[in-house]
């Protein structure tokens, strides 16, 4: 019975899509000193028991209030073990690039990265958080179903 419960839990992500939003402000890096904020809207889809993709729409606002957009696609694999989700970003494509290569490279650096999340599902919400308390990877998502 325990094996069946684990399989059901794992299958609960299959063929689901989640919407997530992140607003980044207060940049410490000198490379981002010209920017006021970065707003990211993502749709995360678990396409199968092992494949995921993310479609990301980004709005970068500079200190003068000008907004420039970019779009990214991420493809990869995932493994769910209990409440731990391990995602491996295998490819990153930029459909729309920013005029600042520093911004573009920041997103492209996800290619080849593996991230471990603790995962919690509560009704129509999906929460990702880092067990090592690295807040950069914390994320709350929702589904429209």
Residue 12 CB-half CA count within 13 A: 21
**CA gap 95, 111 in Å, rounded:** 15
Name beta bridge partners: 44.
18, 54
- Copy the structure tokens of residue 99: 């005029």
Max CA pair span of the chain: 59
- Share the mean pLDDT of the chain: 87
Q: Is the pLDDT of residue 5 over 50?
A: no
The pLDDT-based confidence of 4 (bands split at 50, 70, 90) is very low
- The per-residue pLDDT for 144 is 65
**CA gap 47, 45 in Å, rounded:** 6
The pLDDT-based confidence of 117 (bands split at 50, 70, 90) is confident
Per-residue pLDDT, averaged over 81-88, amounts to 90
- The per-residue pLDDT for 37 is 97
- Copy the structure tokens of residue 139: 């994320």
Predicted model pTM: 0.86
- The per-residue pLDDT for 12 is 73
Domain ranges across the chain = 2-142
Q: Which residues make Cβ contacts (< 8 Å) with residue 100, sequence separation at least 6?
A: 34, 60
- The per-residue pLDDT for 17 is 93
Looking at the chain, the whole-number percentage of residues with pLDDT higher than 90 is: 63
Q: Is the pLDDT of residue 138 over 70?
A: yes
- The per-residue pLDDT for 132 is 64
Kindly state the DSSP code that residue 5 receives in the 8-state scheme. H
pLDDT tens readout for residues 38-84: 999 999 999 999 999 999 999 999 999 999 999 999 999 999 988 88
């Amino acid at each position: 019975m325990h094996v069946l419960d684990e399989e059901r839990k794992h299958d609960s992500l299959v063929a689901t899509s989640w919407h997530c939003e992140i607003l980044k402000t207060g940049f410490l890096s000198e490379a981002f000193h010209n920017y006021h904020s970065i707003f990211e809207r993502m749709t995360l889809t678990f396409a199968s028991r092992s494949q995921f993709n993310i479609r990301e729409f980004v709005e970068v606002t500079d200190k003068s209030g000008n907004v420039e957009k970019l779009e990214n696609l991420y493809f990869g694999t995932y493994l769910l073990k209990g409440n731990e989700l391990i995602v491996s970003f295998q490819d990153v494509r930029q459909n729309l690039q920013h005029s600042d290569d520093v911004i573009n490279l920041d997103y492209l650096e996800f290619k080849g990265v593996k991230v471990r999340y603790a995962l919690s599902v509560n009704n129509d919400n999906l929460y990702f958080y880092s067990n090592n308390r690295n807040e950069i990877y914390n994320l709350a998502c929702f589904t429209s179903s």
